[in-house]
A and B are shown apart, each in its own frame.
Chain A
Amino acid sequence: MAVVFEKPKSMADVTMHYCPGCTHGIIHRLVCEVIDEMGIEGDTIGICPVGCSVMAYDYFNCDMIEAAHGRAPAVATGVKRTNPDKFVFTYQGDGDLAAIGTAETVHAATRGENIVVIFVNNTTYGMTGGQMAPTTLPGQVTQTTPYGRDPKLAGYPIRVCEMLATLRGTALAQRVAVNTVPRIKEAKKAIRKAFENQRDKKGFSIVEVLSTCPTNWGLSPVDALKRLEDDMIPYYPLGVYKDADAFSEKEGE
């Protein structure tokens, strides 16, 4: 019998620190599968954020750089501009990308920075114990919205793909999820497209991946998959919000 499924080569052979059932691990694997399939591990530089995936530099076998909280897109810009023939990706959580790092995200996108951003949206700050995130849903209970997020007090969650799709520098803005096998396969295709965009110099590509946080949602890993389906997807519809060559003559083509 032949092996039909195993850990991708560009993924380190270590036990990751993520909580049981946390789907960060799936997303890491998808990125590594794409890196393997494109044969680019030796030419790839990954930027990890501050958050649950802060130690991702131990999980990817390509060169890695640790960025300050929210600053990964800026670090990636510095890397890509000076190493244009290398593949550069950032791997960020929702607090990192859509709270403290909003300016870096928006400006990397509007510059059409030729990088890939893997944006893991689990509607909470996992590493610090489950506080409200910029993507926390209205009514969602967190450590800092103990009675449920009240938009009158804490405002509304941000739909990042839709926001960045308005920027001409954005080539790909697609939201996927990893709570079912078909969706995981779809997510991988999106990540692959993002890396191919980078190869073809089409501009800024972001794949927003709806992900779970069993520990801070107070749910079992399996129930967390269901919560993603029932609560998150309605507020964050999956789909492609922009698919174009940012530097084509006519906008949006």
Chain B
Amino acid sequence: MAKITVNFEKCKGCALCTTACPKKIVELQKEKRNRKGYFTAVCIDDEKCIGCAMCATMCPDCAIIVEK
């Protein structure tokens, strides 16, 4: 089991993480903007997360914490 936590206010919606996830389960959610007006990244299927942290590695803002 593994999990990522995206810091809602720190994420700038740049979507770099979405290109890095090998399981293709990281996308930008379109429901809620953060204070800066960005649509933030989110894991759309926790089950499939393998905790490889490639999304977090690609994140320029250290907005993703990965647990395993």
Check A-B contact in the complex, CB < 8 A: yes
Chain A residues packing against B (C-beta within 8 Å): 1-7, 11, 15-16, 18-26, 29, 180-181, 184-185, 214, 220-222, 225
Q: Does B45 contact A (CB under 8 A)?
A: no
Interface size on B, residues (CB 8 A): 29
Asked if residues A18 and B60 are in contact (CB atoms below 8 Å), the reply is yes
Bound-state Cα–Cα, A209 to B68, Å: 30
Is the beta-carbon distance between A20 and B62 smaller than 8 angstroms? no
Closest to B10 in A: A15
The chain A residue with its CB closest to the CB of B18 is: A222
Interface of B, secondary structure class, is loop
Given A1-B1, A18-B60, A23-B60, is A221 in contact with B14 using a C-beta cutoff of 8 Å? yes
- Residues on B lying within 8 angstroms of A by beta carbon are 1-3, 9-10, 12-16, 18-20, 38, 51, 53-54, 56-62, 64-68
A residues near B60, Cβ cutoff 8 Å: 16, 18, 21-26, 29
**A4 CB contacts on chain B under 8 angstroms:** 2, 51, 53, 66-68
* Residue numbers in A under 8 Å from B3 (CB-CB): 1
Residues of A within 8 A of B9 (CB): 15
Q: Can you name the residue of chain B whose Cβ is closest to the Cβ of A14?
A: B10
Q: Give me the 8 closest cross-chain CB pairs, A-B, nearest first.
A: A25-B60, A21-B14, A20-B12, A5-B53, A20-B14, A5-B66, A7-B62, A1-B67
